[in-house]
Chain A
Amino acid sequence: MESKTEGRRDGVWAQPYTLASGQTQSHQLGHVNLWVTLLDREWQIRSETVELDIDPVSWTETVGHTLPSKEMSLQRFIRAEGADTVTFIPAVGSLPTVVRPYQPLTIPAGEQCVIYVGTLVWMNVCVGDARTMLTEIPLAVPSLTWVGRNTMEGELCYSSASVARLVLEAVPKRPWRAVTPVTIINRREEPLLLERFSLPTPMLSLHLNERGQLWTPGVTVECETDMNSASLHVDQTVFAAAGKCQQVGPAREKVARGRFVRAFDRMFG
């Protein structure tokens, strides 16, 4: 997975990097540039969000002794004795993510489909053997939206426009996004028009496969009568097509019954 070309390597999730005092490790990942500096008594973290016209598909990492410009916002953390490793742990969003296909998709009566959805990942910068978290950075600027019956009842969610791909091979594997296979089963007698749906991202754990891609367990949504009564189920294991995976990030929330009901109450807005 790691390829060394002129000091640049591919970044890797959940792998400890060892730094020497004075060294700065810089990363280009998603829409974020990140610099982690190790000093004798402290860690320094600088980051900036960049506006890009196209989504980057690679994660490059370099180590040097050069610091970025002083204008960059700086976070300083006390460094424990002997802690010289930094590990990047991915994390799912803290709010559900509303996925909105660019073109609405119709699922005819009695049919089902699997949609591959990419959701934004947060990066936890952890240090030391105990992997103490210093900070959390979204790897792109997340948009917010509201899902609910009206402006009084509902829930704030992250928003993500999606191509809603139906073929796994066509899904771009970006290291800053996690792929979730969403199975939608329409048991109704009418077609189901899928304009948007809310994915309960805080309930999903993150898994890393051998190709360095992030996956979450699959989600199955079953519509029996109307949209509000859709039932939602989070798989225990990762989709078989993801290959051999190891869990790298836990779910933020446990699947509690009350929360679960809310999730599928608002599944389709």
Chain B
Amino acid sequence: MSVLTGVAWGQWVSSIFLLVLGLVLGSLAARSVSRFMAERSTRHHTVMLRRFVFYVIVLLFAIAALREAGFSLDVVLGAAGILTVAIGFASQTSASNMISGLFLLVEKPFEIGDFIEVDATLGEVVGIDMLSVKLRTPDNLYVRIPNETLIKTRVVNRSRFPIRRLDLTVGIAYAEDVERVEALLLGLAEKNPVCLEEPKPFVLVTAFGPSSVDLQFSFWVPKDKVLDGRSSIMVAIKKALDREGIEIPFPHTSIYAGSHSEPFRVQLLGPETLSNKEPLDVDKDR
């Protein structure tokens, strides 16, 4: 009973009240800042400032709460200094991620809302936090990538610049007139509203492939119309080549049945033999 009466309940209640007040005020201030910044700044900066305001207010109230509870701040900081060494060893990964997060904030290779590619993961940045970056993939998966990984690995930001170049490979048969196809492709880019007039689209012959002459058709599109641009121009290419009678060859595969097997019978049939030709192998057994 004396233990209970010996505790300074008033101080503890005050400090808890201060802590709760700090959380509430921090939350309210963060929301106000978020609303104020929403139309004046990017999503990235809004989120950063919102978090900063929240943590600063909560920290101030937490210090006040500790003082109210009777803790001397010097002692707390001293204890924290000693603990830092112990905690540092125990939480190397977390510390590494936190420091990497700071570098990411300073270097700013991407912002919230950007579309990035990390290793084989592609997605929109939905959060940059203390320990990790969160992505939303095009098939709506939530991916968490530790900040340390982002510092170490290659990150491709696909939406940093307002326009992007799309390179399509178009294979045409060896018999086709390359210059005619080139003019046809450039005409398609000119007609398609998604393709930019400047920088100009161009066509390159890149390879004499095993079954086709390979052309690279490059054109520029606004960053938010990449999928639309790629798809619509590919449909247009297929239609235009079909309409003009230009063949898009596909790889031809010959089947060798092995040395012990009977070779396939190959026979050229003239028009006069077409009417009384022999039955096909597959029809023999019927």
Query: Chain A residues near B161 (CB, 8 Å)?
Result: 151-152
Chain A, 123-156, CB within 8 A of any chain B CB: 141-147, 151-152, 154-156
Contact of A147 with B198 in the complex, beta carbons under 8 Å: yes
Query: 7 tightest CB-CB pairs across the interface, nearest first?
Result: A145-B197, A145-B198, A141-B193, A159-B197, A144-B196, A146-B198, A146-B196
Q: Which of A142, A143, A147, A155 has the most CB of B within 10 A?
A: A143
Given A151-B161, A154-B162, A156-B222, CB of A146 within 8 Å of CB of B199: yes
By DSSP majority rule, is chain B's interface helix, strand, loop, or mixed? loop
Task: Flag whether B237 is at the interface (Cβ < 8 A).
Answer: no
Q: Which of A145, A156, A159 has the most CB of B within 10 A?
A: A145
Q: Determine the distance from Cα of A258 to Cα of B183 in the docked complex, in whole angstroms.
A: 41
Query: Chain A residues near B196 (CB, 8 Å)?
Result: 144-146, 156
Range class of the B interface residue count: 10 to 19
Residue of A nearest to B190 (CB): A143
Chain B nearest CB from A25 CB (Å) reads 27
Task: Flag whether B194 is at the interface (Cβ < 8 A).
Answer: yes
Contact of B193 with A151 in the complex, beta carbons under 8 Å: no
Task: Flag whether B163 is at the interface (Cβ < 8 A).
Answer: yes
Task: Flag whether B54 is at the interface (Cβ < 8 A).
Answer: no
Query: Chain B residues near A152 (CB, 8 Å)?
Result: 161
**Chain A residues close to B by CB (< 8 Å):** 98, 141-147, 151-152, 154-156, 159, 269
Chain B, 209-251, CB within 8 A of any chain A CB: 220, 222
Contact of B163 with A146 in the complex, beta carbons under 8 Å: yes
Chain B, 143-183, CB within 8 A of any chain A CB: 161-163, 165
Query: Chain B residues near A145 (CB, 8 Å)?
Result: 196-198
10 extra interchain contacts, Cβ-Cβ under 8 A, other than A144-B193, A147-B198?
A144-B196, A144-B222, A146-B163, A146-B198, A151-B163, A151-B199, A154-B162, A156-B162, A156-B222, A159-B197
Given A151-B199, A156-B222, CB of A143 within 8 Å of CB of B193: yes
User: Would you mind naming 16 contact pairs between A and B with Cβ atoms under 8 Å apart?
Assistant: A142-B193, A143-B193, A143-B197, A144-B195, A144-B196, A144-B222, A145-B196, A146-B163, A146-B199, A146-B220, A147-B198, A154-B162, A156-B162, A156-B163, A156-B222, A159-B198
Residue of B nearest to A159 (CB): B197
Query: Chain B residues near A154 (CB, 8 Å)?
Result: 162
Query: Chain A residues near B222 (CB, 8 Å)?
Result: 144, 156
Q: Which of B162, B195, B198 has the most CB of A within 10 A?
A: B198
Q: Determine the distance from Cα of A269 to Cα of B196 in the docked complex, in whole angstroms.
A: 15
Q: Determine the distance from Cα of A147 to Cα of B198 in the docked complex, in whole angstroms.
A: 7
Query: Chain A residues near B193 (CB, 8 Å)?
Result: 141-144
